A and B are shown apart, each in its own frame.
Chain A
Amino acid sequence: MVAKDHNAILLHAIDEAAVRAGLSIGLPLANARAICPELTVYDADPAADLKTLNDIADWCDRFTPLVALDTLDGLFLDITGCAHLFGGERALLQIVTNALSRRGFAVSAAIAGTSIAARTLTRTASGQIIADGAEAEAVGPLPVSALGADATITTGLRRAGLKTIGDVASRAPHEISARFGADFTTLLGHALGRGDAPISPRKPLPDYIVEKRFPEPIATDTVIALTLSSLAKTLVAAMDKQGKGARQLEASFFRTDGAVRVILVETGRPVTRPEMIDRLFRERLDALNDPLDPGFGFDLIRLAAGRTEIVVQQQRDLDTTVHDNDEISALIDRIAARIGGKRVVVHLPLESHIPERAALALPAQHHLAAASAAAWPERVAGEPPLRPLRLFERPEPIKVPFASVPDGPPHQFTWRRALHAVVRVEGPERIAMEWWKQDGAALTRDYFRVEDAEGQRFWIFRDGLYESELRDEEGRPVPANWYVHGLFA
């Protein structure tokens, strides 16, 4: 693998045969060719590397929810409290290394009390397990390059004659910090088991997780559905003990070949019933564009409650509105699970006199309560409708041949290739744009409510005030553009 660095093509990654031939990472390609003419060279692809690493991390999710990426080629797994599920630390290490080696990756793994100590160990040898407190002993004999510090620091240490980590640790910390910076001292401390840096997991830790492993992979829809509903029961039982309900649910399907599919469902109010979870996932799975592909089968299915909320228990039997509200939010959740949360909307009024900005459509799952308490402008009693029932998102241009007075309403107009003769007119209603928000580009609109010969009613407007706003560069008046903005009932 080669990569371009400052106009020089350098070796980016090499395999074991290349190491035996005497090549090293960072060597210019020309030199490498001179050493070993039969070299096979590929371009490095960091994006694909990162994707592969992420895929491996997805696969590692089956061991612990806390998986973090480390630079470009490493993964941290926090296995605190997880190892016994896989038959102890040694067995777990064995499972991970074997599974990854089988897929053709070169793996180097280690377990230690701190993440940095474990990483330092993997740089030199694979398969070590260091008990808590024994880090300094284990890491001491390793070369300083294993620490993974900057190249300048590593070279600096080597020049100072400090070849192993033990050598560095034997110096007084203040000397090291004075020469190589405080960050390096901290790193060294972590490697020696003094203090630990927290890893930053790729995904936030869900509040509740339940999972089911299968000795024999499952592939049929019915078994998957049954598993999900039994997991839902367990999850709800766990949440119920603490009076919680789930707002976000995540089902992960781990395929035997390592691929992981995660399906997310969000709800408007906390879910506390297993059959509801069951139904939401059924809707979601039915509506997937690319259906769940079991391949050779799933060997692990996990259900996690990503976000939970405390459920307020309400009296249900007597108060029908509580029951009705529950029913409606359950319906909204079901529809949203199938067609997407953004497609189910409620409407909130906005403080704007511009017609197209007077209302805001927001996902119903999150804004149902706000929408049912919204204060809409009261209609004026006795007046006919002043605003159209259907409003075009962007006004549609119409052709107006002439107007009797320059700033008056038209006698006829052509909209969508049909000629409408104006019989009745009401207006104008002048609506100025929000000049304090934008520059002078937007023009004042004069709205007319017009009725054509068939009785259809339109809301049309002239964009710009005659003569004062509508002028070309030389100050001559130009004809106005007319638009239809809405349809009245």
Chain B
Amino acid sequence: MNGARTGTLASLRGSIARIEAPSEAAMPNRIALGHTSADAMLRGGLAPAALHEVFAAGHQGGAATGFIAGLAGRVSARKPLVWVRQDFSDRENGALSMRGLAELGLDPRLLVTVRAADVDSGLRTAADALACDALGAVVLEIWGHARQLDLVASRKLTLAAQASGVTALVLRIAATAIPSTAETRWIVRAAHSPPGNAACAWGAPRFEAELVRNRHGPVGRWIMEWKCDECQFSEPSAYPQPVAATPAHRPHQAQARTGHRLAS
């Protein structure tokens, strides 16, 4: 009886290990963001071939756009980028400026913009684009609450991303988070420039990025600075320590599982 139970447990553990195996194996090709503590929390960086969501805090479209442009720049690695944008988002937050993109260190030549009339057509176009493995990343920008962007839709995007290896990035402005199959979810707001002389303090873009969902690890909150010349994120230059305490209340599940496997 006891032996049988141990045997069942062992086989169950084995099957769990097999299910978990692909995600464990995918660790090495993670793309580092450049921000040390965030990368550590993400176990090496952002997972490619997955869905990541960026929510703008309130209506702060500018900062969230900058952050997702940074993520896209990191993951696409000089490959073309498709940016699917809802028409309404253009009117509400302004169109993406090519000069502005170039100023962030990204290449406007690699950008193809799709102006989708509504959420449905945007979703469909994004899923189509994700099937094309020649792309570096696909950004889907949706304004406001979108009923269509439910679990089924995000599952479709995730599957398409996994099949082709293209990273899916979803930018949501003026929206609240609903359950999805995203690998990570960020809430981004603008951060202050470092204290100093008001006249010459204007510096690199700064974001207060809060990681609120991480499928394979704990969450956190950091001030990140975007280095336009190096095209990567980094710790803020004038704040050596994080402004907010990291809410590390979530146990590190993956770590725990590894322990189990070793024991069994």
Contacts and interface: CB of A to CB of B under 8 A. Distances in A.
Contacts of B16: none
B100 A344 contact: no
Interface string B223-264: 000101100000000000000000000000000000000000
B95 A387 contact: no
A178 interface: no
Contact of B65 (A346, A455, A489): A489
A251 B207 CA distance: 52
Nearest to A390: B94
Nearest to B79: A324
Given A391-B95, A489-B62, A454 B189 contact: yes
Interface stretch (B39-47, B103-111, B142-150, B176-184): B103-111
Interface stretch (B4-12, B22-30, B115-123): B115-123
A298 B226 CA distance: 60
Contact of A456 (B62, B107, B116): B62
A372 B109 contact: yes
Contacts of A358: 97-99
B27 to A, nearest CB: 26
Specify the main secondary structure of chain B where it touches its partner.
mixed
Given A343-B114, A374-B109, A382-B229, A335 B129 contact: yes
A359 B99 contact: yes
Interface string A358-401: 11010010001001111011010111111111111100000000
14 contacts: A325-B134, A330-B132, A344-B113, A345-B112, A359-B99, A376-B108, A385-B100, A387-B100, A388-B62, A388-B94, A455-B190, A455-B192, A456-B190, A487-B94
B203 interface: yes
Interface stretch (A108-116, A186-194, A419-427): A419-427
Contact of B135 (A323, A328, A374, A451): A328
A27 to B, nearest CB: 55
A267 to B, nearest CB: 15
A328 B80 contact: yes
A372 to B, nearest CB: 5
A454 B190 CA distance: 7
Contacts of B135: 328, 331
Contacts of A390: 61-62, 65, 93-97, 100
Interface of B: 60-63, 65-67, 69-70, 79-80, 82, 90-91, 93-105, 107-117, 121, 124-125, 128-129, 132-135, 189-193, 198-199, 201-208, 226, 228-229
A464 B133 CA distance: 50
Nearest to B58: A454
Contact of A323 (B97, B102, B134): B134
Contacts of A327: 132-134
Given A347-B111, A385-B205, A455-B190, A393 B95 contact: yes
Given A455-B190, A489-B65, A345 B115 contact: yes
A355 interface: yes
A449 B128 CA distance: 38
B206 A388 contact: no
A5 B199 CA distance: 78
Interface in A67-103: none
A404 to B, nearest CB: 13
B134 A335 contact: no
A345 B94 contact: no
Interface residues of A, number: 58
A372 B104 CA distance: 18
Contacts of A2: none
The 6 closest A-B pairs by CB, nearest first: A489-B66, A487-B62, A390-B94, A324-B134, A385-B103, A455-B190
Interface of A: 323-325, 327-328, 330-332, 334-335, 338-339, 343-347, 349, 355, 358-359, 361, 364, 368, 371-374, 376-377, 379, 381-393, 423-426, 449, 451, 454-457, 486-489
Contacts of A346: 111-113
A364 B67 CA distance: 26
Most buried by B among A330, A384, A393: A384
A314 to B, nearest CB: 15
B163 to A, nearest CB: 14
Contacts of A385: 100, 103-104, 204-205, 228
Given A376-B109, A424-B201, A392 B94 contact: yes
A367 to B, nearest CB: 11
A289 B133 CA distance: 30
A328 B101 CA distance: 21
B94 A486 contact: yes
A203 B34 CA distance: 59
Given A327-B132, A390-B96, A339 B125 contact: yes
A384 B95 contact: no
Given A349-B98, A451-B193, A455-B193, A331 B129 contact: yes
A136 to B, nearest CB: 62
B190 A347 contact: no
A4 B230 CA distance: 77
A387 B103 contact: yes
A364 B90 CA distance: 19
A390 B95 CA distance: 5
Contact of A391 (B60, B80, B94): B94
Contacts of B132: 327-328, 330-331
Contacts of A331: 82, 128-129, 132, 134-135
Given A324-B134, A335-B128, A386 B103 contact: yes
A127 to B, nearest CB: 53
B116 to A, nearest CB: 7
